[in-house]
Structure 1
Amino acid sequence: MAMSRTDPDDQSAQSPRNGLLSRRGRLRRFVRVSILVCLIIIGAVFGGFLWFADSVASMRPPRATKADAIIVLTGGYLRIDQAVGLLRDGVGKRLLISGVNPSTTRAQIRKMTQSSSDLFTCCVDMGYQAVDTIGNANEAAKWINDHGYTSVVVVTNNYHMHRSLHELRSTSPDTNFIAYPVINSDLARTNWFSNPDVVRTMIAEYMKFVLAAVRDLTGLGKGNGLRNGSSNV
């Protein structure tokens, strides 16, 4: 019986071709997997933003609440004004105004909120060390620990609330933080997505919130957010 023989020239011609086809196949698989991973990441980020925006738009101050104390994170007149109002109403026994500009005095804030000097003298503390939300959390953590509080109402804008609670719970995991969002406009009843300023604010806060979560998972790039490295309230 005749034996078939493979021409050596055919083998040498096929080997490079087969290797090239194999490399192309691996490259195509790599590209497909990369595209799939990118689509999953984009979908997760977009889905997360939709959750974040819907959550912010639906936030409402609690109808009735009571806590040991109140913390307000500076950044707008309405925040401090509402926090002082909560203190006046007996929602908490003491108020920390965190992140106060060093050039702002107690008398100026008292006048701005039209509060009595007795209320400020007995029950309001000024925090001058925090320069960002991380600093607010560290400044608040020391204040909470010094006073032995276990429940605290947090006053800040609705779009800033998720990140604020994340940082506060990270530094004071044993404290029960109660969100009291300040709402400048009713986002749930308006087409906020047609307002470029609101959309930019939402996107910026969402990205900061995501970066804060990633930073805590990796442990990279987190400072203390304080002017002098320690919080003296």
Structure 2
Amino acid sequence: MTAPAVIDTRSVGRTYEAVSGPVRALDGVSFAVRAGELVAIIGPSGSGKSTLLNILGLLDRPGEGTYLLDGVDTAGLREKERTRLRAERIGFVFQAFHLVAHKSAGVNVVLPLVYNRAPRHERRRAAEQALDRVNLRHRMDALPHTLSGGEKQRVAIARATVHRPSLLLCDEPTGNLDTESTGMIMDHLAQLASEGLAVVVVTHDLTVAERADRVLRVKDGRLDRAEETCGR
């Protein structure tokens, strides 16, 4: 049985107004990502990757076309509804980690549960489980400055997945990491995908892209082509 589409974009376009005139950031982008897939998006700077990621994360709206998230047409949603959908269905992982410096790893991880108003008695247990999944439960009370780069990113992954989203968006998640840590992070992302999460990784690193099930190449705002890889 084919897994359901978590992401379904249909002829998505986005144009920005600049001093020099209109800039066509995305043009007719159509693709789907299903539950259990690990998909990499690559392309040169200025190709439209960031614009696409912002639209997928409900941080921006397409100028034309359709974007369905878990079957929900996001075009007609009010901002409050988009915010709720983003908080419930999407996790974000960034190159710079974005951990709260004066909060422990465990407190950082529970932040999405606080925003989603999860019962207080459930938060610590959920944080422990999320950190255990990235082999960092023993660092529950550690402050970010005591963690290595790889550990910080693993905490960020735990935070992004503690509320059990259906989509994980990763923006250059290994950009600040060494080769060993990069491999470990990709192992975790592949494991999450194998458990049914839809994972999208924007990257410049071709060795990272090779770990994906599919690679989407973006060029001049268009989806140049998609290709299968050796996967995980």
What is the TM-score normalised by the length of structure 2? 0.28
**Which is richer in helix?**
1
